[in-house]
Amino acid sequence: MKKLFLTTLCVFLCAMVVSGQKGKAEADYYPLGYSGDTWTGQVTAFDNDHRTLTLTSVKDKSTFVATLPDAPYEWVRNIHNERVLDFPYDKTAKIQVFKYEGGGSGAASMLPEGDSSSGMRRRPNPPDANRVDDLKDFAGRTVVVYYTARQRKEGSVDVKFNDVWRIKILAKK
């Protein structure tokens, strides 16, 4: 009976994760200045010229357009030992600085076991040769994008976009 309950609970939680959309990042090391915004959905379209992925929520069919930087990437493991694709958060810096952000609600959060760095980590940018040129490999996959809403000038017009710095791939269609 206990196993059946745990299995049912796991299936329910997995279904919630896959059908989610806008959310907040879980406890992990994040770049200084990152607000914690995430969006989960299935990649239903991509545009290599504009470097965008269109995510669609499984639950309510809402969409989100994520802009991938034209910057090098690297595969790393987050604090939960999941493989994630990281781009530089600050494209002008040579080294990225990450700070541990706990899952607490405003109160102090405990650092992960074994962290002797006072919650701060520095990581050099990935080599320039590591670039995503074709976004078709993302098509049909369910992903979580970690993004920051930004604005840039295109001619005389201010354009808002969702600048992605991390992608976690959850499943393939």
pLDDT tens for 117-128 read 678 888 898 888
Q: Supply 172's token pair.
A: 């393939």
pTM: 0.79
Q: Is residue 57's pLDDT more than 90?
A: yes
pLDDT tens readout for residues 18-37: 445 889 999 999 999 899 99
Token output for 75: 């595969």
Indicate the pLDDT class of residue 108, thresholds 50, 70 and 90: low
Q: Which residues contact 159 (CB under 8 A, 6 or more apart)?
A: 151, 152, 153
Quote the pLDDT of residue 104: 55
Tokens coding 17: 């994760």
Average pLDDT over residues 124-152: 91
So what's the pLDDT on residue 103? 65
CA dist 160 to 62, 67, 83, Å?
A: 18, 10, 29
Mean of all residue pLDDT scores within the chain = 82
Please calculate the CA angle 51-54-58 and round it to the nearest 5 degrees: 155
What is d(CA 88, CA 135) in angstroms, rounded to the nearest whole number?
18
Average pLDDT over residues 124-143: 89
| DSSP states of 42-70 | EEEEEETTTTEEEEE-TTT--EEEEEPPS
What CA–CA distance (Å, rounded) separates 33 from 102?
15
